[in-house]
Amino acid sequence: MSTSRTTNPTAFSVSESAQEKPGFRTKTIATRVTPEELREVDAAAERSGKTLAEWLRELSLKAARERPADPTELVLSEVAALRYMLLNLFHATAQANAESKHLLAESVLKIRDQSNARKLADARKLLSDFQAGEGGTGGEK
């Protein structure tokens, strides 16, 4: 376990050469933990085969990127999921009825899983389109 000196992220300036390189890491995030907490996170990083810095960076970026930016995204993602499910369930039911068949439980679960997998991306696209002035209510893709 190595210990490095941390700097207040707002207390230093970035050199011109660092500013010119996109993706060059120039900022620091610091936090305080108890000795026991440090042992826990150090052990977790070691189990993953990564340095503590790599493990913390990947974990924090993953959490930041997976979570909705605000509650509006969360609510809209659920509405988008319901819309996707309803439209696809109605379509699948109509298609099954036209073929004199029943909608199978596996089909319903597949539609649910597809809806869950795409709901946040759909919500973000809806918000983006709305904010760009394209707030129409177009059909399903």
| Cβ neighbours of 58 (radius 10 Å) | 13
Q: How far apart are the first and last CA of the chain?
A: 50
Q: 28-66 — its CATH code? A: 1.10.1220
H-state helical runs in 3-135: 16-20, 35-47, 52-66, 71-98, 105-131
pLDDT in tens, the chain (141 residues): 444 444 444 444 444 554 556 678 889 999 999 999 999 999 999 999 999 999 999 999 988 887 656 788 889 999 999 999 999 999 999 999 999 999 999 999 999 999 999 998 898 899 889 989 865 555 444
Place of tokens 């696809």: 88
Which residues of the chain are in CATH 1.10.1220 domains? Answer: 28-66
pLDDT at 92: 96
SS3 (DSSP) at 113: helix
For residues 120 and 73, give the distance between their C-alpha atoms in angstroms, rounded to a whole number. Answer: 7
Nearest to 116 by CA among 137, 136, 88: 88
